[in-house]
Amino acid sequence: MPAISNKIINRLTLYHCLLKYTFKEQRSISSFEIAELLDLDDSLVRKDIALCGVLGRKKGGYPINELQQAIEQKLGFAERKEVFIIGAGNLGTALVNYADFKDYGIDVLALFDNDSAKIGQEAGGKKILALDKLQNLIAKISIKNIILTVPPQAAQEVTDYAVKCGVQFIWNFTPVILKTPKAVTVYNENIVSSFLQMHNFI
């Protein structure tokens, strides 16, 4: 199965939002309605939907429930994705409280930090643990994902340690481009880039 492109993933999550919030009371929706609200071409919407294996009716469009479930299936919302957050600062504690995570199957198990004032505390109902506990915990419960929200100056060092512990996916919220072995996947989340993109239309 060919990997589905990042752009398609992003559009599918937006269709899903639309079904879940805007059209939750309707039975069906047409490619034109989706296209209109997201400012896309309607045939692009139909292609994306075809990819999810949902069939529409020649009149009356696509069944909302089935489409919503097909997107969840395609993108793996139901698979439980366990993550650790490393760095219990502002961003880390905001993310552990981020309500939408659980809708997508993302489950934050704990936070880690180096600051002894934070260790032992809780954030969003999850424990903040000493960073040096990471190795043992990963060895025990085999966590593959971390969310990296440490200060820039610590980013590479913490990454090296996490990789040594066996982490395979790093969702990088720091502005530092990390050096990692090829087997580790890093996604650089550059939030401000979105803001700049939004203003590019002028």
> Whole-number minimum distance, CB 9 to DNA, in Å?
11
- How many residues of this chain bind DNA (CB under 7 A)? 24
Give yes or no for residue 193 binding DNA (CB under 7 A).
Answer: no
Q: Which of residues 31-60 bind DNA (CB under 7 A)?
A: 31-32, 40-44, 46-47, 49-50, 54-60
Give yes or no for residue 81 binding a copy of itself (CB under 8 A).
Answer: yes
Q: Is 123 buried (19+), middle (13-18) or exposed (0-12) by CB count in 10 A? A: buried
Return the residue of 100, 116, 140, 142 that touches a copy of itself, per CB under 8 A. Answer: 100
Return the residue of 43, 121, 136, 185 that touches a copy of itself, per CB under 8 A. Answer: 185
DSSP 67-134: HHHHHHHHHTSSS-EEEEEE--SHHHHHHHT-THHHHTTEEEEEEEES-TTTTT-EETTEEEEEGGGH
> Whole-number minimum distance, CB 52 to a copy of itself, in Å?
14
**Which is nearest to 123 in space by CA: 152, 171, 88?**
88
Beta carbons of 139 and 155 less than 8 angstroms apart: no
Window contacting a copy of itself (CB under 8 A); options: 43-51, 61-69, 96-104, 127-135? 96-104
